[in-house]
Amino acid sequence: MRATAAVFLLVLGHLALCQGWTCTLLAPQLSGAAQVDAGQGKLVATDTSRQAYILTGSSWTRLPFSDLKHITVGEAGIWGTHNNDNIYKYGSGSWVQVPGLLIQIDAGGHDFVVGANRGNNVFCLRCGYAKAFDGHGSMRWDGLSGSLKYYSCGPYGCWGVNRGNQIFFNALKSAACTCSFSSWKHIPGSLKMIEVGSDGNVFGVNWNGEVYQRNGISKERPDGNEWQMIPMSQTMRHVSYDAGSIYAVSTSGAIMKCTHEDDDDGCEP
């Protein structure tokens, strides 16, 4: 039995290497991490007590305010959703409340922000509002078609999952600032959450805690062609990606960092 287990671990390690990702515990760790988001070279997170943090150098710095259940960082800045669904934007050392109610929010688009509310309705905030809003003046969310519980955008379009864990994609129809997209396309597979990197790479987690990457994504093929599992040593509940690195939060609250190996390791095609 021990020999069988050893062989399994050896095969699993070889599989991870052949798929091009090497995953280790992030240093430093954030105790009791619940959700993480990466973008623009920054890494933010929430813990199980709904405290928000940003990684600064070699330590986690707690951001003011509390009870944030979801946090995101991107070209439009740092945004979060409160336990009561209120929306906040971070800047100059403090949070300002943004009109609207969302349970999940994403700032990964080109200066625009998207999110989903408790009724699974999806919304987009144009870049003119997203970049400039400082707690004063008027602003308006554009309601979009579709019913999703999780919504994330990148340079080629937006990805989302609905209440039944079905996956959908819509491409950017015109300038992203207009919040104008094509019709939804159903993508085979099942995920409970999904995130898009600033370079278009897409990652998600299914209900079994397995992490998947969408392969074949390009400007010509923005929805890619297949899902590929990335072996992890733990079951995961959340994943994010930025600048060539995957950041995944396990069900036990540990944060894993995965980096890509581009050199030839002798794996078969």
What confidence tens digit (pLDDT) does each residue in 90-130 have? Answer: 988 999 999 999 999 999 888 899 999 999 999 999 988 99
Percent of the residues in the chain that have a pLDDT greater than 90, as a whole number? 70
pLDDT level of residue 235 (50, 70, 90 thresholds): very high
Identify the CATH number of the domain in which residue 50 sits.
2.130.10.30
Give long-range contacts, CB 8 A cutoff, 24+ apart: 101-106: 103/69, 103/70, 103/149, 104/70, 104/149, 104/150, 104/151, 105/70, 105/72, 105/79, 105/80, 105/81, 106/72, 106/74, 106/151, 106/152, 106/153, 106/195, 106/196
Per residue in 185-206, pLDDT tens?
Answer: 999 999 999 999 989 999 999 9
Does 4 fall in a domain? no
What does pTM read for this prediction?
A: 0.88
pLDDT of 3 over the 90 cut: no
What is the number of domains present in the chain?
Answer: 1
Percent of the residues in the chain that have a pLDDT greater than 70, as a whole number? 88
Does 13 fall in a domain? no
Does 269 fall in a domain? no
The residue segments making up the domain with residue 203 are: 24-260
Does 166 fall in a domain? yes
Higher-scoring residue by pLDDT: 145, 5 = 145
Does 1 fall in a domain? no
pLDDT level of residue 262 (50, 70, 90 thresholds): low
